[in-house]
Amino acid sequence: MTKEQKNEVIVALKEKFSQYDNFYVTNTESLSVAQVSQLRRACFNKKVEMKVAKNTLIRKALEGLDAERYNGVFDSLNNVTALLFSENPKEPALIISSFRDAAKGEKPELKAAFINGDIYTGDNNLKALTKIKTKNELIGEVIGLLQSPASRVLAALQNFHETGGVIKKPGTEEAAPAAEAPAAEAPAAPEASAPDAETSAPAADAAEGEQPTA
C-alpha cells in the first residue's frame, strides 16, 4: 500500500468516526473468508457498517480527530481489527452475540466499544452492551415519567368533575356533595311581642268613651 493509499484510508476512517457516535472494535482473527462474508451480510441487514483496516491507520485516524477523547481505544488496536459503525449503540453487540451463538464460537471478539463518548474495553462487556438503552428508548422513558404524574392529576380532576365535586375516601361510602352539605341550624330569632288582643280592645273602647264634651 502506497503512502497516498494509506492517507486515503485514514481520511475515509476519519469520516466514519466523525459520522458515528458509536463504534465497536472487534477481533475477527481465525474467521474464515466465508464467515467474514456472513458477518458483513449480518451487519448490512441491520444497517451496521463494517470496515477492516490496519491498526496503525485506525490509530492515526483517531489521533487526527481527538487523541484524548479516543485514548481508551488505542490499547485494543492489535491483531486483526474489524470496526463496526452503528447509529444504534447496541446493534453491533446483538450481531456479535447472534453470530457467535450460530457459529458456536468465540469470534468475533469484542476488544472495545465507543458509545456516545463512553469507552467499554474487553469482551466481558458484550452482554451488558446488548441491553444498553437506545436514545429513543431513553427519551420514551423520560417522557413517560414526565407524563405519569400529569396523567394522574388530570384523571383525578376529570373524576372530580364527573361526580359533581364528590370526594371519596378509600374504604368509605360516597360522601355527600360539598354544595349540599347541611348547614348548622341557626337559633330561631325571638318573636316580636304582639299586643294582647284581649287588653287592647277594652283600651280602644275606653278611648272612644272619653271623647271630650263641648
- The answer on 142 and 40 residing in a single domain is no
Residue where a domain terminates, one of 87, 116, 132: 132
Question: Which of 108, 120, 117, 114 minimizes the C-alpha distance to 52?
Answer: 108
DSSP 8-state symbol, 76: G
Diameter over CA atoms, the chain: 157
In a domain? residue 181? no
Our CA dihedral for 165, 168, 173, 178, rounded to 10 degrees, sits at -30
**Those residues with Cβ within 8 angstroms of residue 128's Cβ, 6 or more apart along the chain or in another chain:** 120
| Least confident stretch, 74-88, 93-107, 198-212 | 198-212
Q: Which domain holds residue 137?
A: 133-168
Question: Is 175 within a domain?
Answer: no
What is the pTM (predicted TM-score) of this model?
A: 0.66
Any domain includes 77: yes
Dump pLDDT digits (tens) for 51-79. 999 999 999 999 999 999 999 999 999 99
Contact 72, 119 (CB under 8 A): yes
- pLDDT, tens digit, for every residue of 146-201? 766 666 666 666 765 565 545 455 555 554 455 555 555 555 555 555 545 444 44
Residue pLDDT, tens place only, 22-58: 999 999 999 999 999 999 999 999 999 999 999 999 9
Name the H helices within 108-134.
126-129
Q: Are residues 86 and 152 in the same domain?
A: no
The CATH code of the domain that includes 37 is 3.30.70.1730
Report the number of distinct structural domains present in the chain. 2
